[in-house]
Structure 1
Amino acid sequence: MSLPNELSGIFTHKQKSYKMVLIIALLQEMNEIGKRVVSLENVKARFLSILQDREIRNESIDTPVSPAMRWADVTLNQISHVISTPITALEQLLDVNPQQKTLAFKENFYNSWEQGVLNELYDHAFQELEKYHQQRQPSNFSIREALSVVLTKYSDAKREPFRNNSMGMYIRQQIPTGFREFDFISEDPNLKVQASAGMGNWATIPWIAIMDRRLTESTQNGVYIVYLFAEDMSSVYLTLAQGVTEPNKNGKTEGYKYLRRRVQEIRTQLPLENLRKDEEIYLTSGGLGRDYQVSTVAYYKYDQNNLPTEEQLVSDLVNLVSNYKQFVDIELQSREGQETTQVTMNENAAVSLSVTERLNATKTYIRQKGFSFPDNLIENFYLCLKTKPFVILAGVSGTGKTKLVQLFAESLGATSENGQFTLIPVRPDWSDPADLIGYKDLNDRFRPGPLAEVLVQASNPANRHKPYFVCLDEMNLARVEHYFSDILSILETQNRYGDRIETDVLLRRSALVTPDDQSTYGDLRIPDNVYLIGTVNMDETTHPFSKKVLDRANTIEFNYIQLDQYPISTSAVVTPQQAPNSFLQSQYLQLVDAYHDEYKGQIESTTQMLVRINEILEGIHAHVGFRIRDAICFYLIYNEQSDLMTREQALDLQLLQKILPRIQGSNRAVKRVLLQLLEITLRKRLNKTELEDDASELWASVEKTIEAATYPQSAKKIIFMLRRLDEDGFTSYWLS
């Protein structure tokens, strides 16, 4: 996305790096406390810390003001003079309150910015900071220096908190930026550089990977180049390696057989001169180390105390990139004859977009069509589809539920004209799956339903790389459990086969009579490129949902309507490009798929919170099972991978969409449960004894009640549910 006019040129005129450092420090503090107005003293401390961290890492930096010779010797009192200069230079953008000692972006600007602007500004400030220092010094990024910093300082950094840690940011941001400066990487638009120090917790084995987007965008599968650091930081390996997550899903015995077979195949295809080709890699004593040993095709080993020269390190990387490109060419040539991977030029260009870039393009496309949706709705919709290919959009009529599905699909190149978007109006008289899937007539000819036609087209090998969207409009005019039961059951049978996900058979060949029907519709499954979205209105003309349905879907509600939300004019023109199915395809089907070093901490902290929630829900027999636990964990992992929302924002949406829809009733136990859940969302104790008798003080000033809530959307919904319970004697998620 492009920055607003007031932000796009703020770093154009500068004599020192202080403007960029100030913005980075301010945004870090805002992110930490989740507010616009922050403590000026805290920003000063962060400002100084950023400069001191760069100094410790021997990075280029502006000289401190006299009398101090090093930033390490500068005090917070002395930094006040330094920071006043960039604050004054940005006075058109910032509000500083000397009495209250606060700093903030001006409220009129802040309120006009779209979701994601602050993240974009943070990246922009960081890039401008690096560009500034690169222009001031003749030396470019040094691989040797980067490896040395990680090898010598990572172990100490692991003893510090992970969040906002300078070492974590150095690995994730500065190192990839440095590698992209090399011509042999920057000149190839298909190469993606990514590094990781962990997600939520420190990684046992940090890594720096170079991937060709046409083969893989994840270190969990495919073949790629990766620097792997030994757990004890005694050495680092530059390797041509394979992702181990996907092969090991069939068990390590079978996974290792596959990985070793592929290692031998690749070694016969490539020259791999001067590279070691054995299993003598030592990273860690755990099982993860063995995985890397088996999956590595070839490697260089560098010891911490004997790193080669910069020239040698660059030469080694050039050699490995050359081998990797040969491998990519061989792989792509072998795929050219297969219809499953025939992709148009437009699609090849689209593959290079990141998740954030593609979603920003989607939002721009929707705005230029004259529609506007609340903050984070598009990101939420995307994450829901990626977590599970069945989503429910609920709310009163006229809020744009169907239009959201249509425009989202169009922005990804899926239209009714090319058959990738299908609108199916549900009829009140639908009573069994035949209305959706099809039936045999009196002549034993199969008469396909509207969904069967989509499944046939999407299952065509030539179309498997494209997403197909099915919108079931007014889904609950008929009883969902009656006509949709077969689909719900089949969706739960998903299994991964290589890079595809397949379900069990929905329509068996043996159930069909004619050869034509058997050929076209026999053994029909739900392929992994079909996404089902139901729109529902909750009123007296519709049917409620059972827990069976709610367990299998994310329910996005459209009840909070802002009539004064006007379309946003934009000068950007977005032409929809065909998105690959990999953009939406689920990476994980079971929790074991994601339960490894990188996400283990994230999964365990989320599960502990759900355990606490389950103890509350058990009182009204509304507790959740493994299916919902897994779905919430996957949603949070996908969100963190693409950096779309904060963890709190994402978890707030999952509580709202996966937990609260299960709650309904008219007794005191329901009220007690809602109040206990409200305590979790507000993260504070309530006087539940008094509130059980009269909770009116909660909704008398809802905004004030949820002002400091950790999960404000869920808190707001709970308060509405409590109000309905007090006023009507019955409550449900569906009553607003």
Structure 2
Amino acid sequence: MDRILREPIENYLTQKQLTFAGNQLADRLRNEFPNLLAQILPDQSRYKVAGSPGKGNWTDNPWIAILDTLITDTPQSGYYPVFLFKSDMSGVYLSLNQGVTEVREYYRRDAKNVLKLRAEDFRAKIDIDENDLLEIDLNSNSSNAKLYKAGNIIAKYYSADNLPNVAELTADVLRFLHLYEELTFNDTQIDEKKDLTAIEKKQYRLHFRIERNSGVSKKVKDFKGYICEACDFNFVDKYGELGRQFIAAHHLTPIANLGIGQFQINIQTDFAVLCSNCHSMIHRLDDPSDLEQLRQNIMQNE
């Protein structure tokens, strides 16, 4: 487990002088090290670990990221904890950072300022202490390094001569995952007029996060089709080609049953496909998982 940080620190600069294609250290950064890191995660069905030594050529700053797939399944967007190695391999940061590729493509010259503003907003939403407010310096003039510096939300630094042992590394990763989850919940808006306890608010936020995940939604629609399961409305019948493959995927698992931190998703049983009206109405029920109650309401008023 300690090889995740130690091997790149000790060998990256030497290997960087060699051919990139087929390099064993490059391959371990893409595959073995992410797999080792995944073993300490509390819910491997939810989190995806990815690493990179560069694309087509060595990068100044190799990285290994932990992605919450309810937020993003690519390091190019969203936010996530990531190990970022300094270019001179004098140390490595564990940083709660932001995907910079999409921001750079959309905002271009303003990308750095956008990332800084978002980082400030994210920091305001989580419970951190002064030790977390660490600026990162990746010792590189590459555009990505500058954007990672701007996008850093919180960070912890390990110098090459004082790398953490397995227990320390595990504790730090789990703590950053806790802050990651806290940010996930607090970055998802709910109706604050509802009289909810703190745990109920987290459960509602998790419900909406699952429901709005585009990857999950696509799988549900591919499996269940595009006819409303409450009122049988078919968008194609009403709107022709404009309505093809248009429907909402609604998460049916009772909110009170959602576990915080660990959960399993069953595409076949945990979701319904609903038209826009039915999707809005089911969220007005006391129990938005009660599809049968919604059907009864429709039948009684036909």
- Counterpart amino acid of residue 179 in structure 1: L
Q: Partners in 2 of 1:270 and 1:207 — Cα distance?
A: 24
Cα deviation 1:21-75 (Å, max 9, x = unaligned) = xxxxxxxxxxxxxxxxxxxxxxxxxxxxxxxxxxxxxxxxxxxxxxxxxxxxxxx
- Aligned equivalent of 1:413, options 196, 220, 223: 223
From the superposition, tell whether residues 415 and 302 of structure 1 become closer, same or farther in structure 2 (CA, over 3 Å).
Answer: same
**Counterpart residue number, 2:216:** 351
**Counterpart residue number, 1:195:** 51
Q: Is 2:235–2:243's contact at 8 Å kept on the other side of the alignment?
A: no
Cα deviation 1:160-188 (Å, max 9, x = unaligned) = 33333211221122112211222xx1435
From the superposition, tell whether residues 203 and 463 of structure 1 become closer, same or farther in structure 2 (CA, over 3 Å).
Answer: same
Q: Is 2:249–2:272's contact at 8 Å kept on the other side of the alignment?
A: no
Q: Secondary structure at the match of 1:240?
A: strand
Q: Secondary structure at the match of 1:327?
A: helix
- Aligned equivalent of 2:240, options 421, 426, 450: 450
Q: Is 1:267–1:297's contact at 8 Å kept on the other side of the alignment?
A: yes
- Aligned equivalent of 2:120, options 264, 284, 302: 264
**Counterpart residue number, 2:284:** none
By how many angstroms is 1:342 displaced?
Answer: 7.1
Q: Partners in 1 of 2:243 and 2:170 — Cα distance?
A: 54
Q: Secondary structure at the match of 1:208?
A: strand
From the superposition, tell whether residues 420 and 206 of structure 1 become closer, same or farther in structure 2 (CA, over 3 Å).
Answer: farther
Q: Partners in 1 of 2:269 and 2:61 — Cα distance?
A: 39
By how many angstroms is 1:146 displaced?
Answer: 2.1
By how many angstroms is 1:210 displaced?
Answer: 0.8
Q: Secondary structure at the match of 1:246?
A: helix
Aligned-residue sequence identity (percent) comes to 24
1:46-57 equivalence runs, <5 A: none
Q: Is 1:172–1:194's contact at 8 Å kept on the other side of the alignment?
A: yes
By how many angstroms is 1:150 displaced?
Answer: 0.5
Q: Partners in 2 of 1:156 and 1:420 — Cα distance?
A: 61
Q: Partners in 2 of 1:227 and 1:187 — Cα distance?
A: 19
- Aligned equivalent of 1:212, options 64, 68, 81: 68
Q: Is 2:134–2:156's contact at 8 Å kept on the other side of the alignment?
A: no
**Gap runs ≥5 in structure 1:** 1-140, 359-408, 424-447, 466-573, 581-736
**Gap runs ≥5 in structure 2:** 192-203, 252-266, 274-302
RMSD: 3.9
Q: Partners in 2 of 1:156 and 1:294 — Cα distance?
A: 29
Q: Partners in 2 of 1:421 and 1:449 — Cα distance?
A: 6
Q: Is 1:151–1:233's contact at 8 Å kept on the other side of the alignment?
A: yes
By how many angstroms is 1:216 displaced?
Answer: 0.8
Q: Is 2:38–2:44's contact at 8 Å kept on the other side of the alignment?
A: no
Q: Secondary structure at the match of 2:100?
A: coil
Structure with higher helix content: 1
- Aligned equivalent of 1:284, options 140, 150, 154: 140
By how many angstroms is 1:343 displaced?
Answer: 1.8
1:170 equivalenced with 2:38 (yes/no):
no
Cα deviation 1:87-125 (Å, max 9, x = unaligned) = xxxxxxxxxxxxxxxxxxxxxxxxxxxxxxxxxxxxxxx
Aligned length: 241
Q: Is 1:340–1:463's contact at 8 Å kept on the other side of the alignment?
A: no
User: Whose RCO is larger (CA < 8 A, sep 6+)?
Assistant: 2
From the superposition, tell whether residues 352 and 319 of structure 1 become closer, same or farther in structure 2 (CA, over 3 Å).
Answer: farther
From the superposition, tell whether residues 577 and 315 of structure 1 become closer, same or farther in structure 2 (CA, over 3 Å).
Answer: closer
Q: Secondary structure at the match of 2:105?
A: helix
**Counterpart residue number, 2:287:** none
1:150 equivalenced with 2:8 (yes/no):
yes
Q: Partners in 2 of 1:261 and 1:464 — Cα distance?
A: 33
Q: Partners in 2 of 1:299 and 1:420 — Cα distance?
A: 49
**Counterpart residue number, 1:227:** 83
Q: Secondary structure at the match of 1:221?
A: coil
Q: Partners in 2 of 1:269 and 1:157 — Cα distance?
A: 40
By how many angstroms is 1:149 displaced?
Answer: 0.4
Q: Secondary structure at the match of 1:219?
A: coil
Q: Secondary structure at the match of 2:93?
A: strand
- Counterpart amino acid of residue 180 in structure 1: A
1:311 equivalenced with 2:167 (yes/no):
yes
- Counterpart amino acid of residue 173 in structure 2: L
By how many angstroms is 1:575 displaced?
Answer: 6.0
Q: Is 1:414–1:420's contact at 8 Å kept on the other side of the alignment?
A: no
- Aligned equivalent of 2:99, options 214, 218, 243: 243
By how many angstroms is 1:255 displaced?
Answer: 2.4
Q: Is 1:413–1:578's contact at 8 Å kept on the other side of the alignment?
A: no
Q: Is 2:249–2:271's contact at 8 Å kept on the other side of the alignment?
A: no
- Counterpart amino acid of residue 284 in structure 1: S
By how many angstroms is 1:352 displaced?
Answer: 11
From the superposition, tell whether residues 175 and 420 of structure 1 become closer, same or farther in structure 2 (CA, over 3 Å).
Answer: farther
**Counterpart residue number, 2:279:** none
By how many angstroms is 1:577 displaced?
Answer: 9.1
Q: Secondary structure at the match of 1:160?
A: coil
Structure of higher CA gyration radius:
1
Q: Is 1:189–1:352's contact at 8 Å kept on the other side of the alignment?
A: no
Q: Is 1:155–1:233's contact at 8 Å kept on the other side of the alignment?
A: yes
